Amino acid sequence: MLSKPSRWLTYTNALLYAILGAALFFLPDQLAPVFACKVTPFMTMTIGGWCLGNAWLAYISARRWEWRLVYPSLTYLWLFGVGELLVVLIFRDKLKLAHPVAWLYLIVLVLNVVTAFVGISDWLRIRPNRQFSGQTLTPGQRWPILAFVMLVGFLGMYGLSAPIGAPGTNGGIFPEVMSLFTLRSFGTFYTCLALGVLPLLWEKNPNTILHHAWAAYGLVVFITVAAFVYIPLFDFVARPGGLLYFGAYLVVGIPLFFTFRKYGTGR
pLDDT by position in tens, the chain (length 267): 788 999 999 999 999 999 999 999 999 999 999 999 999 999 999 999 999 999 999 999 999 999 999 999 999 999 999 999 999 999 999 999 999 999 999 999 999 999 999 999 999 998 887 665 456 667 767 888 898 999 899 989 999 999 988 877 777 788 999 999 999 999 999 999 999 999 998 888 889 999 999 999 999 999 999 999 999 999 888 888 888 888 888 888 998 999 899 989 988
Q: Which range marks the domain in which residue 32 is found?
A: 4-263
Nearest partner of 149 among 97, 181, 192, judged by Cα: 192
Q: For residue 78, what pLDDT is reported?
A: 98
User: Which residues, listed in sequence order, are joined to residue 125 by a DSSP beta bridge?
Assistant: none
Q: For residue 238, what pLDDT is reported?
A: 86
SS3 of 177, please?
Answer: strand
User: Which residues, listed in sequence order, are joined to residue 177 by a DSSP beta bridge?
Assistant: 170
Q: For residue 131, what pLDDT is reported?
A: 65
* Whole-number Å distance between alpha carbons of 55 and 17: 5
- Tell me the H-state helices in 41-135: 41-64, 67-90, 100-126
Q: For residue 135, what pLDDT is reported?
A: 60
Alpha carbon 264 to chain centroid distance?
Answer: 22
* Whole-number Å distance between alpha carbons of 59 and 186: 23
Residues in the chain: 267
Q: Is 46:24 a contact under the CB 8 Å cutoff? A: no
Q: For residue 106, what pLDDT is reported?
A: 97
Q: For residue 136, what pLDDT is reported?
A: 65
> Side chain identity at 257, as an amino acid letter?
F
Q: pTM to 2 decimals?
A: 0.94
* Whole-number Å distance between alpha carbons of 89 and 77: 18
**Number of domains composing the chain:** 1
